[in-house]
Amino acid sequence: MILTYKVQGGDFSNAGKCSSEVKKVLKQLNIDHKIIKKVVIALYEGEVNIVAHAYHGVITVEINTEKIKITLKDEGPGIPDINKAMEQGYSTASPIVRELGFGAGMGLPNMKKNTDYMHISSEVNKGTEVILINYL
């Protein structure tokens, strides 16, 4: 099963819509609730990162009998220093994003903590791709 979602940068009113819909699908598929919780946390963090930092993006969720693979691909400023971005509390969020209650610098660390595999590739002034995998 493949689910695809378009995410618009700056659209905080719809941030979390994708992760909410994926949660419903995973429940319908009778996926273990502990796995659902981890997948939804990681997906939500990635979704909010696209909304907060990119112009727009696409999230693809592939579900099979072995794993749940999430690909978050955006067009945006990119991440100049991925290692620095992985540090808890480090954030490049704008003051407006912070005023909305986002941008605490926990997104990428929370994504890593809640997945079995995470890979980030990014090009400055082009965009970022994050691959997340949770094994079933």
Pick from 62, 61, 30: nearest CA to 46: 61
The larger pLDDT score, comparing residue 97 to residue 132, is at 132
Planar angle of CA 67, 82, 10, nearest 5 degrees: 80
CA distance 117 to 125: 26
DSSP state of 126: T
The per-residue pLDDT for 99 is 84
The per-residue pLDDT for 83 is 94
The per-residue pLDDT for 49 is 96
The per-residue pLDDT for 28 is 98
Q: Which residue has the tokens 């996926």?
A: 31
The per-residue pLDDT for 105 is 87
Pick from 63, 19, 60, 13: nearest CA to 41: 19
The superfamily (CATH) of domain 2-135 is Histidine kinase-like ATPase, C-terminal domain (3.30.565.10)
Pick left, alpha or beta for residue 49 (phi over 0 → left; psi -120 to 50 → alpha; otherwise beta).
Answer: alpha
> What predicted TM-score, i.e. pTM, was given to this entire model?
0.94
Domain layout of the chain by residue ranges: 2-135
Q: What is the pLDDT of residues 74-124, one digit of tens each?
A: 999 999 999 999 999 999 888 888 888 888 888 999 999 999 999 999 999
The per-residue pLDDT for 100 is 85
- The beta strands (E) that lie in 42-85 are given as 56-63, 67-75
pLDDT of 45 over the 90 cut: yes
